[in-house]
Amino acid sequence: MEYIGDVLDQRRELKGKYYTPGFGLGAQLFSTMAKHVVKKLGPEEGENLIKDAVEEFGLERGKRIAEKVKALGKPLSFKNWLVYSDIDTINFKPISST
C-alpha cells in the first residue's frame, strides 16, 4: 500500500491536467465498440445495429429524466432537462490541453 499511498496527493497536484471527463471516456469506448461492430458485421448491418442501440439508449435516458422532472411537479422543458440531467456538471468544466 505504501507504493500507491501518495496517488491522491499527486493527482491533486496535477489539478486535473490529465483527466478525461466521464463523457469523453464513454465516447472513446463507444467509438472502439462501434468500429469493431462494423468490422464484424459489415457497414450496413453494423451501422444499423449501432443506430438502433443509440436510439434505444436515448429513448430510455430521456424517459428516466422526464419521469424525474414530472415527479418533482416541474414542466418538461429544455431548461429542466439541463437542470435534472444525469450528466455530472464536472463534465462541463473546460480542461487544459497542456
pLDDT of residue 87: 82
Which residues have a Cβ under 8 Å from the Cβ of 91 and sit 6 or more positions away?
Answer: 21, 22, 23
78: in domain: yes
Looking at per-residue pLDDT, the higher value among 62 and 9 belongs to 62
pLDDT band, very low/low/confident/very high, at 41 (cuts 50, 70, 90): very high
- Return the percentage of the chain with pLDDT > 70, whole number: 91
Q: Are 91 and 23 in contact (CB under 8 A)?
A: yes
pLDDT of residue 49: 98
Q: Are 54 and 31 in contact (CB under 8 A)?
A: no
* pTM score, whole prediction: 0.70
pLDDT of residue 71: 98
92: in domain: yes
> Among residues 21, 77, 29, 80, which one has the least CA distance to residue 53?
29
76: in domain: yes
Domain that holds residue 57: 42-98
CA distance 28 to 42: 20
pLDDT band, very low/low/confident/very high, at 98 (cuts 50, 70, 90): low
59: in domain: yes
